[in-house]
Amino acid sequence: MAISISKKKAKVNERVEHKEVGFFFSSFLAKFLFRIPSIVLILILIFLWSSSTTIISGKVVHVCISLRKLNDLYCISAGTEPNLDIAVPPLNGTSSSKVSSPQDTRVAIVDESSSSIDIPIPRVNDSSSSTDAMANVADVSLQEPSPLDIPIPRVNDSSSSTDAMANVVDVSLRESSPLDIPIPRVNDSSTYIPSEKQESRTVSVDSFAGKKNVAFRNNMIKSGDEELVMAYNDVEDQLQVHRSWAATSQNNATCDGKGIYVYDLPSKFNKDLVAHCADMIPWINLCKYFSNEAMGEPMQNLGKGWYQTHQYSLELIFHSRVLNHPCRVHNADEAKLFYVPFYGGLDILRWHFKNVSNEVKDSLGLELVRWLESQQHWFQKSGNDHVFVLGKISWDFRRYSNTNWGSRFLELDEMQNPVKLLIERQPWHVNDIGIPHPTYFHPQTDNDIIAWQDRIIKSNRRSLVSFAGAARPDAPANIRSILINQCTSAKDQECTFLDCNSGKCHQPESIIQLFMESEFCLQPPGDSPTRKSVFDSLISGCIPVIFDPFTAYYQYSWHLPEDHKKYSVFIDQEDVRNMKVNVVETLMQITTKEREDMRSYITYDLLPGLVYGDPKSKLEKFQDAFSITINNLFQRLNKLES
């Protein structure tokens, strides 16, 4: 616990001695000359004391000085014991050295325009219980917005440690951005401190250092910003960890050692939330979308297996699939994987458009954790064998303390070890794993998939490029307006624009039909980096054009290949923003052969693994998104146990 020592100005007691006039002048002159060094020293000390803050943290004392002519905070640290290793705070842009003590550290930052605020140095998630596990300390500063429009947390140099999770940085949310989803920022309470009953786990990513996609990374980072490179490195190293958890065998014939236990939660954690479907969102009734085991109403004109599925239906769809999984067990002692069917996304939705306090928004998640702590299996592997499926983006569960957006469910200490499957992951949390948005297609048999594959391969693609979306006038950094102008300025059949402000995007048939008739589909970031539309375009055989790697490449490592050129085209959004590229003209340069190769790969290799089959589906030849996810969860546990 940090203790800030109050600032006090030193009081100088002066005594004026009265002496005879004849002796006074000479005595005064001598004393004045003698006291000049002392006065200067006292003034310097008073100045430093008034512009500094002292922090006592465990066995370390920090004195931090802020000067008007200096932009950064400068700190001097000293140990209260001999031979104590101290982490050099990265506030001066330096890398942290070894930390021997795992004590919680808070740094009081002094700013000219504000009073001191205590910000904890974020700890590495899932850190080892040994003292060396805290070897890396994340820099709490944020650099300028990157070309991704996301401020990238600066991560310290972790080369001095071989086993710490240096690639995980706790960040949270600032106030709601014009993009609807808050932008990441250092959290004032994001430090992960394992509870007394839980043991932290570490995952080493150093073994993947030689497998980085350097070409792509160098292409993205044109400014030579080393810290931005480091942030990209951390994300890509985590994705390599995720890919190491991918199951190599496609054989689902046996359930030996692969039991799945589904917690029978009190209904307030799931079913009762669905009952609020009529008034969760003021302008839409979700009840019809949650019917038919959350697939929604059928769309007969698109063929068998097509439904009006809502983008927030993932929690219900996944729950239905797990309940029907052949490896489900009813005895928790026989289980290897534990599924917690909490509809956290619906919990957020029911409060978001109502005037309630943050305490109310957080209450159900806290109740769930307390309930889980009453279950003996919650502690047997420190939560590492538990999985949550959340149907909204990770940022919605990582509310920054000064905002009203979302909850703080994923910031709870108890939620650090379990796996969180989300439609958009937090890029610096290794236990956040991105899985596909639910699409409108839910095949029941292999033949349903084969019939659809044949249809999209033969589809007449009359338009080179299409974009279904709307401009974001309140977000000047968003490139949508530029793309719309380039599209509408192109010649006929070169680019088709479907304006979502017209209401046509609420008609799934219109979107799928547009994508089936297009060679390329533009996928700029919207409310957040990811888009459900990416998956709608892929299952329609339309090649997605990606402008931000966090839209797809840094999200879905279990369902999309590392080589993004096989299925997509990447155009740096910074080049679009600076008017250095015309997207339509760039796409015209891609040959017919290249388009056909990408479309063939999308249709036959990717498509089956991007859709969630009907809850009663009996797929034999193909693995859908759900099956891939479950198999990889088991593989992850095998790797952690080995």
pLDDT of residue 131: 35
Mean pLDDT over residues 177-205, rounded? 34
Q: What is the distance between the alpha carbons of residues 496 and 382, in angstroms, rounded to a whole number?
A: 52
CA distances 500 to 297, 484, 489, 510, 622, Å, are 22, 12, 18, 11, 34
Residue type, 134: M
pLDDT at 248: 82
Could you tell me the CATH number of the domain that includes residue 499? 3.40.50
In a domain, 241, yes or no: yes
The vertex-369 CA angle with 368 and 370, nearest 5°, equals 90
Span 109-133, average pLDDT = 34
| pLDDT, average across residues 187-197 | 32
Please, what is the average pLDDT of the chain? Answer: 75
How many CA atoms are closer than 13 Å to the CA of 431, on its beta-carbon side?
28
Report pLDDT digits (tens) over 286-339.
999 999 999 999 998 898 999 999 999 999 999 999 999 999 999 999 999 999
Asked whether residue 426 falls in the same domain as residue 462, the answer is no
Instruction: Using DSSP, state whether 211 is helix, strand or coil.
Output: helix
Q: Assess whether pLDDT exceeds 80 at residue 425.
A: yes
Considering the domain architecture, whether residues 381 and 473 belong to the same structural domain is answered as: no
Q: At what angle do helices 344-352 and 358-372 cross, to 10 degrees?
A: 160
Domain termination site, one of 76, 102, 124 = 76
| Higher-confidence position of 61 and 234 | 234
In terms of residue numbers, what domain contains 360?
226-438+627-641
Residues 355 and 475 grouped into a single domain: no
558 domain-assigned = yes
Report yes or no on 496 lying in a domain: yes
Distance, in Å, from the CA atom of 172 to the CA atom of 235, rounded to the nearest integer, reads 16
Judge whether 148 lies within some domain. Answer: no
Q: What pLDDT score was predicted for residue 224? A: 62
Q: Same domain, yes or no, for 404 and 457?
A: no
User: Judging by DSSP bridges, how do beta strands 52-57 and 569-570 pair with one another?
Assistant: unpaired
Distances (CA, A) of 540 to 277, 496, 600: 29, 16, 12
**% of the chain residues with pLDDT over 70:** 64
269 and 356 share one domain: yes
The predicted structure's pLDDT at residue 252: 55
Do 497 and 433 lie in one domain? The reply is: no
Q: What is the pLDDT of residues 123-175, one digit of tens each?
A: 333 333 333 333 333 333 333 333 334 444 433 333 333 333 333 333 333 33
pLDDT of the residue at 163: 35
Domain boundary among 56, 76, 96: 76
Q: Can you spell out the DSSP letters for 409-447?
A: GGGSGGGSSSEEEESS--TT-TTEEE-PPP-SB--SSHH
- Asked if residue 213 is part of any domain, the answer here is no
Quick count: other Cβ atoms within 10 Å of Cβ 111? 10
Shared domain for 382 and 518, answered yes or no, is no
Q: In this structure, how many other beta carbons lie within 10 angstroms of the beta carbon of residue 507?
A: 13
Gyration radius of the chain over CA positions: 29
| Residue 620 predicted with pLDDT over 50 | yes
The more confident residue out of 363 and 503 is 363
pLDDT at 43 over 80: no
List alpha helices for 56-106, DSSP H: none
| 457 part of a folded domain | yes
Mean pLDDT for the stretch of residues 19-24: 44
Co-location of 474 and 523 in the same domain: yes
Q: Are residues 253 and 356 in the same domain?
A: yes
Residues 256 and 367 in one domain: yes
What the block records as the tokens of 401 is: 């303390």
Question: Does 569 lie in the same domain as 427?
Answer: no
Q: Give the torsion through C-alpha atoms of 564, 565, 571, 573, to 10 deg.
A: 0
What single-letter amino acid sits at 123? R
State how far the Cα of 466 lies from the Cα of 520, in Å rounded to an integer.
Answer: 6
Task: Give the pair of three-digit tokens for residue 130.
Answer: 């040994």
Section 87-98 average pLDDT: 34
Q: Is the pLDDT of residue 102 over 60?
A: no
Q: How many domains does the chain have?
A: 3
Does residue 81 or residue 638 have the better pLDDT? Answer: 638
Residue 122 lies in a domain: no
Q: Is residue 380 located within the same domain as residue 258?
A: yes
Q: Which of the residue ranges 39-48, 546-555, 581-590 would you say has the lowest mean pLDDT?
A: 39-48
Q: Which two tokens stand for residue 180?
A: 């609807």
Question: Is the predicted pLDDT of residue 616 greater than 80, yes or no?
Answer: yes
Q: Measured between alpha carbons, how far is 121 from 302 in angstroms, rounded to an integer?
A: 53
> According to the 3-state scheme, what is the secondary structure of 503-560?
CHHHCHHHHHHHHHCEEEEEECCCCCCCCHHHHHHHCCCCEEEECCHHHCCCCCCCCC
Given a cut of 80, whether residue 581 has pLDDT beyond it is: yes
Question: pLDDT value at position 559?
Answer: 98
What CA–CA distance (Å, rounded) separates 419 from 394? 12
- Which of 76, 94, 125 marks a domain boundary? 76
Residue at 240 is within a domain? yes
Burial bucket for residue 444 (CB in 10 Å: 0-12, 13-18, 19+): middle
Pick the more confident residue, 138 or 346.
346
Confidence class for position 251, pLDDT limits 50, 70, 90 = low
- Per-residue pLDDT band at 470 (split at 50, 70, 90): very high
